Amino acid sequence: MKKFGFLFILIFCCAASVVAIDYDNDGYNDTFENGAQDDYRPYFIRHDMKTINIYIDFDQTVPLFSMTLNNAVMYPLEQGTVDVQIEFSQIVQINGAISQDIASGALQLQIAEIPGNTVIQAGTPVTITDNSVVSLPFTIAYLTPDMANLPLTLNLYNTSSGNNMHLVSSDINVFQQTDDRPAGKVLSVNSSMVIGDTEIIQGDTLQVQGWAFDDNEGMAVSLNFKRDESDNNTAAVVNIAKSVDPVNNTIPYWGASYPSGFLIDWAEPDRRGNYLITPHLNDGSHDVALETKKIFWNKKPEIQLDSPQPYTNIYTMNYLIAGEAVDLDVNLGIGAYLSSVEVYIDDNSNLIKLITNNILSNENMNIQFDWTTVSDYAEGEHTILAVAHDSFGLQSDELQIPIVIYKTVPLIINVSPRLGPWEGNNIVSITGNGLAALSNVSFENIPAAILPGATDSLVQVVVNSFVPSESRYTEVRLSNDYGSYFKQDAYRFIPAELNALNTDSQIADIKYSNLEKSLYILNIDEHAVDVYEQDNGNGLQLNYTASFNTQGTDAKPEYKMELSRLEDIMFVIYEDSNRIDIYDLQNDGAPLDVIYLLDNEGTAVSNNSFAYLMGDEFLMSGMLLVGTQGENSGLYLVYLDIADYNHSIEEITLPGSYDSVNVYSCANKSTAYIIYKSSATGEFTTYRYDAKYDLFSGPLPTSMTLAPGEIDELKLSTNYNGIKFLLYTTSQISQFDKYGLLLGSASYGMDLAVYDSCRSVFYSLNGGDISFHIRSLDNLTEEITYCDLPENSHFALCASLDWNGDFMFALSAEGTAVVKVGDIYPQIQDLPTFVQSGQTVHFKVNNIGQVPENVVSYVDDTEKASNFDNDTSTYALTSPLDNDTAEKLYIKLYGYPSKQEPLYMMSKLADVVDNNIGLQFFYPTGLFYDELRSDLYAFDPSQTGGFSILRFHIEVDNNGEVAVTRKMVPFQMQIGNPLSMTFVHDYIVVLSLYSHQCTWFNVTDFDANGTAQVHTAAISPFITPSGIAGYSPADNPDMNYVYIWNSLSTGGLDVFQLDIDTGITAWCGQILSPHTTNIYIDHNPNDYTKDRAYAVSSSLSGAQNDIITVFEPFKSAFSISPLASINLGSSGGAYKIAANDAHFFVSLYDSKGITLFDPDLSGNSNHFIYNILNNDSKYSRFLTVDENNLVFSGKESDNLFTLSFMDLNPWNDYPYVSPFDINENYTVSSSQLQDVKIIKGKVFTVIGHEIYIINLINKEEE
């Protein structure tokens, strides 16, 4: 819209200013044609038909300072005057008659109000007298936005004539289309200062303020810039704000909607430095450049910290603060540069560091300093603040970095694993607090490498090797800036070495020989067995000694090997083969024999697994139990006859149809378990084979829910004697007792589970893993810890443990690892096996490190409080057995269990019996047990006259509790110096050495009626009777013989027969048993004619061997002749004889031992004699046996008396050496130890003047 309908109007702008400035940049100074100049007011170009000059004198306009646009109406409006010069001639010309009518002074001119439009409010009429200029006042009332034109209407009055002239623009009828140049002025830029001719702009936005107006509402205000004069102008992208007020006091409104002021916002964050800026006004046809300003656009510097990062946890007293400040508008010419950086914490009052810029010309300023006062601030959340300043006072945005200061002293909660090989290089995780910024982690002063990624609660380290290579607990010490913490015994180095053997060979199996201390490696590639000997040092190195070739000729890969009980014979089977090779390990592995297994139809089977088992304890050849696989899979028992190559093979009938039979044996070769598997159905059945009794038990109620295909992974592992076993796959494990009853299960799996032979733990290993796990057998879900294999080697599925549980041999991809696992466990020492009621037990524990208080004692699997005495380094446990008669004590240290040690309760009979009056002065030496009536007799040969024999009735209930009731003995029986007792049917017989008499009474009658029926038979004063044995054939109650022996006999007066029915003592003249010391009568319950008596003839001074003379006790004295004379081969005072269902046992006093014999009474005299104990220091005396135990009292060479306990069941123990080792010795310190009897599973013995009751532990039931 460029229509300004101002007709014939020339406006002269008058101003006071006289400075010639071209504000509007039109190339002319703003000088009006009338010579007036006005700095502010542009002029409008005069129309060349200028007949009326209207001069708006703003100076005379009452300024209205406040103009408000209100509903598009501007008010209050301005007042002004218009100077109008009337050309009279023109008036005439318009209306020639009028001028004549004008009286002098009658002509008046007035700006007329436009009817209906109050824009112009007329002023007072002015008298026109000539062509002079008159001033007409008017008021612009308001302005509507749609008003494009503002017509002026002038009324010209001729007051004299009354003819008013009405001058309206339309009347002029000529419209001048005027397009004026925009006019404007730059008032200011938002500079903070002016240096020279340069305005300094701070910040991101350049603001130019000015005013402008134009007759075109569409006039655009723009901004051009250039870097310097030589640069080309570029249009800036700006925001224009109109209608700003700074200038409106002097700038009149113009235009309908166009404010007069402007504000140019040039927001350019990236613009900086020197610019020339020029605002432009452009109405479409004119581009008016306003004043050019020279600016220096100064931007705020920037700052960035690389350290700390937001939410960094700061654990150290010193913390590196690092980063960079940048100011890109460095211009030293005008003094613009990066000035400084300030770093605060929390608020600006806590200055950490002020860094000034030393090289002003650098745009970048490196920030790097140690914040050394971290510890001055409280633990918790803080904020690091950082700002950069430039020389013009601009500062960067404040950098706020939240941090957390930790001042926690480190604390160890757990170290996992708690142990590792002494070579180190394994990763250990430590949990606790304050672990994120440890300055040092050391294991007994040897630093460990801290792995990155530590958090406050977890740090991982790589353990160094421990030097010297000791097996020991170490402290783990952690340090950070705020302190250090150490946990004693937090980690344990255990001996372990990797033997880089056979790494390039395929190994099928490994087996450890306990006796040879050698490891056999079944080498498939070389078709050989490689023998490696354990070194004599710490046993960790394996030294190659020999190889021998396996003999498989059908090129089948070797599969498994097995050792005989004495580890002198090796058996090898092959994959997919029915061949079993037998090698003589005593002869460099020379092949001994080959067995081919055929099924009942004569078809070769495919061996799957096998086990060597022993059927008895006397070193017979043993047997192999072999499982096969495939369609005709089966189970075979091979009874070995190594000597004659005359093996017999028996195929065992399977309980169903299976495609795989798997055999697993226990370490002591007593028991095997068999799993019958059917891959087709996924079902399996478990059986147990007891080699001692040649007995299969099953199917055992072992149930496991197996996933499809899981049956192929199912394996079994047994404890050392087969009373417990594990069934496991790679995803689950269950433990059962020998009856198949579930003991526990857990939902993890493994490739191999190996029982520790003596502790309640097992080891689980997975192929490819670098560690093995130690888990509790008491609670399968409990993992005690794990341990890395040496040199982080990777397990390769084969492992073997030695019998003592000391060494683990694990085949790995890198070689054979030997880990001395036995060093892991604490060891109980000096524990008295025998505990008296209420006694405090003292013991030591070895291998426990520095914190004895961490030892936890268990009795009966229940934790018991024990006290540690620093002075003696012993633990004290009060009344460990409470009311139990026998238990196992073990300790745990950090979860590692020790071996279980037996505790036998020793009760004094005097404390148990219902009436113990007088017992304190009763010194019995002998015990006699009347098993028919469960009566125990004790006799004291030093007593005389009425108190030499006591009688106790013994009852043992199902819980093993012993009840003892004192019973009467007839006074007549209380003979002096009783030396031996026996019973014959209802008669109790006593031998008195002093009085040379046998005295007896009818105990049944006495108990029933009080009638003692005491009888006495004198014994010849010429013999020295030392003992009697009654003969009571069960099927012949009328036969009442007592055999009396004469220990001092030398010339045939050895054994006498007393018939208590007649009282006659007769000499058994044909029994040649000089120096008889004992007679044992073996009863046949059904046929007394098969009863046999065994008289022990003791060697006198080694003159001849000890002899057992066998005779028929039912015969009359004179007709008795020896059936056999068993030469024990010993020459040392055979003393007492005892027997159980299996064997006879004789104690040897002088030669200090015990001999076992099994008589051959067939006439061949092929007696089996076996010296089961040969102890150079123990004079064996009284002995007693039951089916599983032998207990004997002996005197040591140092005259201390001992009670020795032997487990007769060899399958409970070590399979490789004598099955008759003494398990326990009870040494009597200041008393003599006399007779001993096993009665109803309890041991009764005489120590000093006390009769003790000691429990027996049935090991097999453990």
Q: Contact between 975 and another protein (CB under 8 A)?
A: yes
Segment contacting another protein (CB under 8 A): 190-198, 767-775, 841-849, 993-1001?
993-1001
At 92, is the secondary structure helix, strand, or coil?
helix
E strands in 118-216: 120-122, 126-128, 133-140, 153-158, 165-168, 183-189, 191-195, 198-202, 205-213
Task: Name which position in 852, 976, 1133, 1194 contacts another protein (CB under 8 A).
Answer: 976
Q: Contact between 1248 and another protein (CB under 8 A)?
A: yes
By C-beta, is 888 or 966 nearer to another protein?
966
Binding mask 1179-1218 for another protein (x = CB under 8 A): ----------------x-----------------------
Q: Contact between 923 and another protein (CB under 8 A)?
A: yes
Q: Which amino acid is at 632?
A: N
In the range 1116-1145, which residues lie near another protein by CB under 8 A?
A: none
Rg (CA), the chain: 61
What is the Cα–Cα distance from 215 to 1147, expressed in whole angstroms?
Answer: 142
By C-beta, is 673 or 923 nearer to another protein?
923
Backbone phi, then psi, for 1136, in 5-degree steps? -125, 155
Nearest to 1180 by CA among 1132, 1216, 1223: 1132
Q: Contact between 992 and another protein (CB under 8 A)?
A: yes
Q: Contact between 940 and another protein (CB under 8 A)?
A: yes
Task: Name which position in 902, 941, 1132, 1133 contacts another protein (CB under 8 A).
Answer: 941
Task: Name which position in 16, 921, 1010, 1176 contacts another protein (CB under 8 A).
Answer: 921
What is the Cα–Cα distance from 1131 to 1171, expressed in whole angstroms?
Answer: 12
Segment contacting another protein (CB under 8 A): 178-186, 828-836, 945-953, 1112-1120?
945-953
Task: Name which position in 1231, 1240, 1241, 1259 contacts another protein (CB under 8 A).
Answer: 1231
* CA separation, residue 314 to residues 351, 371, 400, 410, 454 (Å): 18, 11, 16, 14, 12
Which residues face 47 on adjacent strands?
Answer: none
Cβ of residue 1199: shortest distance to another protein, in angstroms?
9
What is the Cα–Cα distance from 102 to 61, expressed in whole angstroms?
Answer: 31
What is the Cα–Cα distance from 1039 to 1034, expressed in whole angstroms?
Answer: 9
By C-beta, is 349 or 1230 nearer to another protein?
1230
Task: Name which position in 483, 838, 946, 1063 contacts another protein (CB under 8 A).
Answer: 946
Q: Which long-range contacts (CB under 8 A, 24 or more apart) does 642-647 make?
A: 642/569, 642/582, 642/592, 642/593, 645/592, 645/593, 647/593, 647/595
Cβ of residue 966: shortest distance to another protein, in angstroms?
8
* CA separation, residue 561 to residues 380, 523, 529, 1238, 1243 (Å): 65, 11, 9, 43, 43
Segment contacting another protein (CB under 8 A): 366-374, 439-447, 934-942, 1120-1128?
934-942
What is the Cα–Cα distance from 1024 to 1049, expressed in whole angstroms?
Answer: 8
Cβ of residue 913: shortest distance to another protein, in angstroms?
11
Segment contacting another protein (CB under 8 A): 180-188, 211-219, 509-517, 910-918?
910-918
Q: Contact between 1094 and another protein (CB under 8 A)?
A: no
Q: Which amino acid is at 17?
A: S
Task: Name which position in 28, 618, 739, 971 contacts another protein (CB under 8 A).
Answer: 971
Task: Name which position in 942, 1009, 1011, 1020 contacts another protein (CB under 8 A).
Answer: 942
Task: Name which position in 155, 1234, 1245, 1255 contacts another protein (CB under 8 A).
Answer: 1234
Cβ of residue 1231: shortest distance to another protein, in angstroms?
6
**If you search the block for the tokens 């300030």, which residue do you land on?**
342
- State the chain's maximal CA–CA distance in angstroms: 206
Q: Contact between 108 and another protein (CB under 8 A)?
A: no
DSSP for 1164-1226 reads T---EEEEEEE-TTEEEEEEEE-SSEEEEEEEETTS-EEEEEEE--GGGS-SSS-TT-EEEEE
What is the Cα–Cα distance from 853 to 867, expressed in whole angstroms?
Answer: 8
Task: Name which position in 93, 920, 1177, 1197 contacts another protein (CB under 8 A).
Answer: 920
Cβ of residue 697: shortest distance to another protein, in angstroms?
48
Residues 6 or more apart in contact with residue 57 via CB below 8 angstroms: 14, 80, 81, 83, 135
What is the Cα–Cα distance from 1173 to 1192, expressed in whole angstroms?
Answer: 11
Q: Contact between 1232 and another protein (CB under 8 A)?
A: yes
Cβ of residue 911: shortest distance to another protein, in angstroms?
16
Q: Contact between 965 and another protein (CB under 8 A)?
A: no
Cβ of residue 977: shortest distance to another protein, in angstroms?
5
Task: Name which position in 544, 645, 739, 994 contacts another protein (CB under 8 A).
Answer: 994
For residues 98 and 91, the answer to whether their CB atoms sit within 8 Å is yes
Task: Name which position in 175, 947, 1170, 1214 contacts another protein (CB under 8 A).
Answer: 947
Q: Contact between 632 and another protein (CB under 8 A)?
A: no
If binding means CB under 8 A, how many residues of this protein chain bind another protein? 35
By C-beta, is 889 or 919 nearer to another protein?
919
Cβ of residue 614: shortest distance to another protein, in angstroms?
40
Segment contacting another protein (CB under 8 A): 131-139, 445-453, 606-614, 968-976?
968-976
By C-beta, is 243 or 925 nearer to another protein?
925
* Angle 782-784-789 from CA coordinates, rounded to 5°: 130
What is the Cα–Cα distance from 744 to 252, expressed in whole angstroms?
Answer: 101
For residues 1118 and 1127, the answer to whether their CB atoms sit within 8 Å is no
Q: Contact between 748 and another protein (CB under 8 A)?
A: no
**DSSP strand pairing (198-202 vs 293-298):** parallel
* CA separation, residue 481 to residues 189, 345, 434, 453, 454 (Å): 56, 20, 10, 18, 15
Nearest to 471 by CA among 800, 787, 875, 114: 787
Q: Contact between 1063 and another protein (CB under 8 A)?
A: no
Q: Contact between 914 and another protein (CB under 8 A)?
A: no
For residues 221 and 264, the answer to whether their CB atoms sit within 8 Å is yes
Residues 6 or more apart in contact with residue 731 via CB below 8 angstroms: 707, 710, 747, 748, 749
Q: Contact between 65 and another protein (CB under 8 A)?
A: no
Q: Contact between 1021 and another protein (CB under 8 A)?
A: no
Cβ of residue 1012: shortest distance to another protein, in angstroms?
12
For residues 574 and 554, the answer to whether their CB atoms sit within 8 Å is yes
Task: Name which position in 977, 1099, 1189, 1202 contacts another protein (CB under 8 A).
Answer: 977
Q: Contact between 465 and another protein (CB under 8 A)?
A: no
By C-beta, is 111 or 919 nearer to another protein?
919
What is the Cα–Cα distance from 735 to 942, expressed in whole angstroms?
Answer: 57
CB-count burial class (<10 Å; 0-12, 13-18, 19+) for 971: exposed
What is the Cα–Cα distance from 834 to 843, expressed in whole angstroms?
Answer: 12
Q: Contact between 945 and another protein (CB under 8 A)?
A: yes
Task: Name which position in 464, 541, 995, 1013 contacts another protein (CB under 8 A).
Answer: 995
Q: Contact between 915 and another protein (CB under 8 A)?
A: yes
Task: Name which position in 974, 1046, 1147, 1171 contacts another protein (CB under 8 A).
Answer: 974
Q: Contact between 1026 and another protein (CB under 8 A)?
A: yes
By C-beta, is 80 or 970 nearer to another protein?
970
Task: Name which position in 260, 785, 907, 943 contacts another protein (CB under 8 A).
Answer: 943
Residues that bind another protein (CB under 8 A): 915, 917-918, 920-921, 923, 925-926, 940-947, 971-972, 974-977, 992, 994-995, 997, 1026, 1047, 1195, 1230-1232, 1234, 1248-1249
